[in-house]
């Protein structure tokens, strides 16, 4: 966030931490909503007990100035039960029924606002990003190490016990990628791997230069994403789909063909507006900062939003 981004104030000494499938991103956010500091470390995985992630989050929080009493929000990928504070399952980190909220609160010495990364990204885009002021239903789709979605209906996030939006786990049953999950083909990491690159940006550069192998891989990524998004449109009919995560940095190279392929699949159904996330790959961390501010407010502290 920047001073002219339209972001709402979050609160003094508020820290948001996003535990991604590859990287843990931490932010310290000022009361004006401006990001004062950012720090990243690799995500330790697999980590079925959560112990390694808790220690990594503690290092990030300490680096950002976190101390007892600081408002901290932490969000993680996969199936998350916010009510119980449990990371139920994660394909990319390996969590299995981990009581992360309690573990984090004990380790950090302060109550922790705990949530799921994609729903946090949707919250950030709703409050101060590309979905701010948008009427009707909105879908936020994060395309990074994995692929997942979050849905905002009438201003409320659809949770369904933590299972809503896991489109990356859908099994492809026909075609050249039969037997793989959606995110094993169309995530940023999978796109890079299939093209023989270390990251999706390198694939995008090759596509722009006309490389035939990269262009074929990119087209397959678009096709699988369009199939997944068509199901969302037919079910929830969002007026806007906000695309976030690392692959969204490709901009029109991603959105233009995705719009074309999605439109082909929808027929007479309403085509949603496709936009990139204003907060980029920091959306989930910013959402975590909002969750921390909300938790502080529930304790009676002044954390204006």
- The tokens 């201003």 sit on which residue? 155
Q: Is residue 8 part of a domain?
A: no
pLDDT at 301: 54
pLDDT tens-place string over residues 191-236? 999 999 999 999 999 999 999 999 999 999 999 999 999 999 999 9
Q: Is 303 part of a structural domain of the chain?
A: no
Q: What is residue 125's predicted lDDT score, i.e. its pLDDT?
A: 95
Is there a single domain that holds both residue 51 and residue 137?
A: no
For the record, the structure tokens of 97 come out as 């029924």
On whether both 273 and 137 belong to a single domain, the answer is yes
Number of domains in the chain: 2
What is the predicted pLDDT for the residue at 135?
84
Q: What is the pLDDT of residues 173-190, one digit of tens each?
A: 999 999 999 999 999 999
**Rounded to an integer, what distance in angstroms lies between the CA atom of residue 56 and that of residue 67?**
15
What is d(CA 109, CA 113) in angstroms, rounded to the nearest whole number? Answer: 13
Place of tokens 């409050």: 127
CATH code, 75: 3.30.420.40
Q: How far is CA 174 from the centre of its chain?
A: 28
Span 99-126, average pLDDT: 96
pLDDT at 12: 65
Strands 14-19, 71-76: pairing kind:
parallel
Q: Tokens for 84?
A: 């119980």
* pLDDT at residue 300, rounded to an integer: 64
CA distance 60 to 38: 9
Average pLDDT (128-132) is 94
User: How confident is the prediction for the chain on average, in pLDDT?
Assistant: 92
Give me the pLDDT at residue 250, please: 95
Mean pLDDT across the stretch 102-109?
A: 95
Half-sphere exposure of 33 (CA within 13 A, CB side): 19
Q: Contact, 288 vs 17, CB < 8 A?
A: yes
Look at residue 156 in the predicted model and tell me its pLDDT: 87
Q: β-strands 71-76, 112-116: how paired?
A: parallel
Q: Report yes or no on 24 lying in a domain.
A: yes
Residue 4 has pLDDT above 50, yes or no: no
pTM of the model: 0.90
Are 157 and 75 in a shared domain? no
Indicate whether 268 and 290 sit together in one domain: no
- Domain of residue 66: give its range: 14-117+281-298
The answer to whether residues 267 and 286 belong to one domain is: no
pLDDT single digits (tens) 131-172: 998 888 999 999 999 999 999 998 889 999 899 999 999 999
Same domain? For 46 and 24 the reply is yes
Q: What is the pLDDT of residue 222?
A: 98
């Amino acid at each position: 966030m920047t001073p002219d981004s339209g972001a709402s104030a979050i609160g003094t000494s508020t820290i948001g931490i996003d535990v991604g499938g590859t990287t843990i991103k931490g932010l310290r956010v000022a009361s004006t909503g401006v990001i004062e500091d950012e720090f990243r470390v690799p995500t330790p995985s697999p980590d079925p007990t959560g112990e390694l992630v808790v220690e990594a989050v503690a290092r990030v929080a300490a680096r950002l100035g976190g101390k007892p009493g600081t408002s901290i929000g932490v969000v993680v990928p996969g199936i998350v039960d916010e009510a119980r504070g449990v990371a139920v399952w994660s394909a990319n980190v390996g969590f299995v029924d981990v009581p992360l909220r309690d573990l984090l609160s004990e380790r950090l010495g302060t109550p922790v606002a705990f949530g799921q990364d994609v729903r946090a990204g949707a919250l950030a885009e709703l409050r101060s990003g590309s979905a701010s002021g948008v009427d009707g239903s909105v879908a936020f789709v994060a395309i990074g190490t994995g692929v997942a979605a979050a849905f905002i209906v009438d201003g409320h996030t659809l949770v369904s016990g933590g299972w809503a939006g896991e489109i990356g786990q859908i099994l492809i049953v026909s075609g050249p990628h039969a037997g793989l999950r959606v995110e094993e083909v169309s995530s940023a990491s999978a796109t890079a791997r299939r093209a023989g690159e270390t990251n999706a940006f390198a694939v995008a550069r090759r596509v722009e230069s006309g490389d035939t192998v990269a262009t074929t891989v990119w087209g397959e990524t678009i096709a699988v994403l369009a199939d997944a998004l068509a199901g969302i449109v037919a079910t929830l009919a969002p007026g806007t789909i906000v695309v976030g995560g690392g692959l969204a940095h490709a901009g029109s190279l991603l959105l233009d063909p995705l719009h074309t392929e999605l439109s082909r699949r929808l027929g007479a159904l309403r085509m949603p507006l496709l936009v990139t996330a204003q907060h980029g790959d920091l959306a989930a961390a910013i959402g975590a900062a909002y969750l921390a501010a909300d938790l502080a407010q529930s304790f009676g502290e002044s954390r204006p939003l």
